[in-house]
Amino acid sequence: MMDGSGLPTTRSTCPYCGVGCGVLLTPDGNGGLLVKGDPGHPANFGKLCSKGSALGETVGEEVNRGYRLRTPLVDGKPASWDDALQTVADKFRAAQQEYGPDACAFYVSGQLLTEDYYVANKLIKGFIGTANIDTNSRLCMASTVAGHKRAFGTDTVPGTYEDLDEADLIVLVGSNLAWCHPVLFQRVLAAREKRGARIIVVDPRRTASCDAADLHLKLVLGSDVALFNDLLARIEDAGAVDADYIAQTDGIAEAMAAARENNPTETGLTSEELDAFAAEWIGTEKVVTVFSQGVNQSTSGADKVNAILNCHLATGRIGRPGLGPLSVTGQPNAMGGREVGGLANMLACHLDLENADHRAAVKTFWDAPEMPEAAGLKAVDMFRAVGAGKIKALWIIHTNPAVSMPEADAVREAIAGCDFVAVSDVTGRTDTARLADVLLPAAAWAEKDGTVTNSDRTISRQRAVLPSFAGARADWDILAEVGRRMGWKDVFNYQHPAEIFREHAALSGIAGQMGRDFDISGLAELSRDEYGALKPLRWPVSATRQGGRFFSEGDFFHATGKVKLVPVRWRPPAAKTGPRYPFRFNTGCLRDQWHTMTRTALSARLSSHLAEPFLDIHPDDARSLGLAPADLVSVKSPQGSAILRSRITDDVTTGQVFAPMHWTGETAPSARIDALVAGSVDPVSGQPESKAAVVDVRKFEAAWYGFAVSL
């Protein structure tokens, strides 16, 4: 297509959050891009957030000179692709043969396209023979996966973004939608403007989302289960249980009994606040409950998810327009990774790794020599195994665990001590890339071609519009070449991502025949041209169905055909405050930064918003510590330490502090926030508790400090 000036314009998808906004990309004639929102994309209808609007500032030779990798590095020295890829293949083959397949591991990313993810999963599970592949999505949405599977039998997102447009009440739980998913927040505001929709925010911290809220429930951090258990009991008391729908469920009596063991005072909310919340929720048929990292990143994250689902299931408020639970994901292809089995406890196409029939179906389809029978190591356990010397060969792809993992100092040391580490990334200037034995230059956004799936199951194309930077290669191509060099030439003989997509779609048809939800077999015969022209569409896509919502009429994926209400009980965060560590430490994102800033930091405009690391602290706590605004503060936990700038605000409650998580050893060596976070995980999902560490806070008495100003 052409823009108004006659320049060629390409439809693609934004590489940031899971909203999955469509973008229009037009070369600017100087090696860069002009970026606009795509009015025809169903996720955003032309709108973009600050990060998406600045994408053009992060690409091109001028921006990336000295930043992007130009050649593979082996032991820190430039090498040919042939030597680098052969080294990776040889090291993984040696580890597999000498120590067994479980001595190998991949740690991958929601930045991968679905085709990349599929090849990685196939290589390590079907051919290297271990389930030791996990993804930074484990840090983002694993608790939602676990909650969905416990309730529905599969990891199914029931609703769509259109439900936000039609809702009368929208409840944001542990979600600063205004900053983390701004385009969806604009839809929420539009629903308020057009329909008079009301907004409730459930969050221990006042955020930008609260500015539009009719009610902000500033609950005790981590007490979401207590809140929704109280709501579930009130649903029964009010006679609001949907008798027809509940006939399709298992576990209602047990879930209600557990809810009635609840003490709502554990939320820290007043009886008036609890009454107001219950009255709004129970009294409004069209209610959408949006939840995100404040729910997921917890040692009780899966229980929080099921507490929310229980309320929707008890009232039958699911799978119909304008109502239902909606998980919003943090990464552009977290959903695609879930679809291809990118987590250590999953198989491709929502098949179950520990189900013998499912394993046999995938093994046969792939013509694989072996298939692991048990789940692999999830992220926290994986890096602990690396540190213990149990993992001998590790491949990290498009992620920065030396910064983003909990216990980040220990993770950095583990990677540094591993026998062999390969890293695929666009730059060598990350904390993790500097630890690699082999560093592989991968194609970046706008240089690579494939698909992604957003938070409401919409599959969109990311398209290449710029040439690969200095010979960088697509991730599927790198992975497939290593597979060929390890001896599996025919099964990894891909020449184009369309071939991988067709294979994935064909496998999903087998999954559909086995009673799974994920089925895109209707796309299994796409030609390369049809794949190139593929428009956004929501799965499933099969001979009998395309898109839509799930579960309005039941049709669940447990063997019984019923849905399960899961009995859950509130429990506090794993770390306990005390005299040594009296503050509860919450973490999160900024409006204009993304993860560890490897892309957003390239934009001066984005970097001007809240430009240095800080710690939010309540005025009463600041007063007791003798802190003034902008003082330097020392923050220490049992795991690590940081030095941050104090920001005194009543957005947080007394006894609670908050810091954003973006800065790294590259950008602020004393502000690596995840060095403070313990590796405590949810027992069901394996997701770390990133928002409830404990810390000590003191004024940092610097002998002197200065500022560097650059123009």
Each residue's pLDDT tens digit, 483-538: 999 999 999 999 999 999 999 999 999 999 999 999 999 999 999 999 999 999 99
Specify whether domain 583-699 bears CATH 2.40.40.20: yes
Would the pLDDT of 628 be above 80? yes
pLDDT at 477 > cutoff 90: yes
Structure tokens at 53: 């609007």
pLDDT band at 159 (very low <50, low <70, confident <90, very high): very high
The 10s digit of each residue's pLDDT in 55-107 is 999 998 888 888 999 999 999 999 999 999 999 999 999 999 999 999 999 99
Q: Is 384 helix (H, G, I), strand (E, B) or coil?
A: helix
Q: Say what the pLDDT of residue 63 is.
A: 86
Give whole-number Cα distances, 183 to 16, 43, 55, 144, 284, in Å.
12, 8, 15, 21, 24
CB 379 within 8 A of CB 134: yes
> What is the pLDDT confidence band of residue 2, given thresholds at 50, 70 and 90?
low
For position 610, what pLDDT does the model report? 84
Q: Closest Cα to residue 14, out of 486, 386, 455?
A: 455
Q: Rounded to whole angstroms, how far apart are CA atoms 423 and 475? A: 11
- Hey, what CATH topology would domain 89-140+335-484 get? Rossmann fold (3.40.50)
pLDDT above 80 (res 218)? yes
List strand residue ranges (DSSP E) for 550-613, in order. 563-564, 583-588
Is residue 597 very low, low, confident or very high in pLDDT (cuts 50, 70, 90)?
Answer: confident
Residues above pLDDT 70, as percent of the chain: 99
* pLDDT confidence of residue 708: 76
Percent of the chain topping pLDDT 90:
91
Q: What is the DSSP letter of 644?
A: E
Interval 297-307: pLDDT, tens: 999 999 999 99
Residue 5 pLDDT class (50, 70, 90 cuts): low
Task: Of 278-287, 329-338, 420-429, 569-578, give the lowest mean pLDDT range.
Answer: 329-338
583-699 matches 142-332 in CATH topology: no
With CA atoms as reference, report the closest residue to 405 among 107, 16, 18, 67: 107
Single-letter residue type at 705: Y
Summarize the confidence of residues 336-352 as an average pLDDT. 96
Second CATH level (architecture) for the domain 142-332:
3-Layer(aba) Sandwich (3.40)
- Per-residue pLDDT averaged across 270-288, rounded? 98
Position 680 scores a pLDDT of 98
Of 166, 170, 172, the residue nearest 194 (C-alpha)? 166
What mean pLDDT comes out for the span 570-579?
Answer: 97
pLDDT of residue 471 exceeding 90, the answer is: no
Query: Is the model's pLDDT at 378 over the cut of 80?
Result: yes
pLDDT for 4: 55
Q: What is the mean pLDDT of the chain?
A: 96
Query: Could you tell me the pLDDT band of residue 3, with boundaries at 50, 70 and 90?
Result: low
**In the chain, domain spans:** 89-140+335-484, 142-332, 583-699
Higher pLDDT, 710 or 705: 705
pTM of model > 0.85: yes
Q: Does 290 have pLDDT greater than 70? A: yes
Amino acid at 137: S
